[in-house]
Amino acid sequence: GGLSRPPRHKHRKTGGRRNIHQKKRKFEMGRPAALCKMGSKRVRPVRCRGGNMKYRALRIDNGNFAWGSENCTKKVRILDVVYNATSNE
């Protein structure tokens, strides 16, 4: 169940519908967005393909950020988040 991202629901190149002859597969799974908030650090491990782990930040107050034009990377504290309408879909 849950979110999945297979190409089986899409139309063929000719415009016809595809026949679905297969269940959802684990490797086609998608996951809900983390929607990370500001605050004391809260990170959860998420199991991935091959038994590897990703670490999902749910709350965070600092991070390692790159400043491309100045060609430097520093660990900094996050003070404020700027509202960006394009991130609001």
Each of the 89 residues of the chain gets a pLDDT tens digit; together they read: 568 889 988 999 999 999 999 999 999 999 998 999 999 999 999 999 999 999 999 999 999 999 999 999 999 999 998 888 887 76
pTM for this structure?
A: 0.70
Residue from 73, 67, 62 nearest 36 by CA? 62
| Burial bucket for residue 60 (CB in 10 Å: 0-12, 13-18, 19+) | middle
Q: For residue 71, count other CB atoms closer than 10 A to its CB.
A: 7
| 87 three-class SS | helix
Residue from 60, 66, 67, 55 nearest 81 by CA? 60
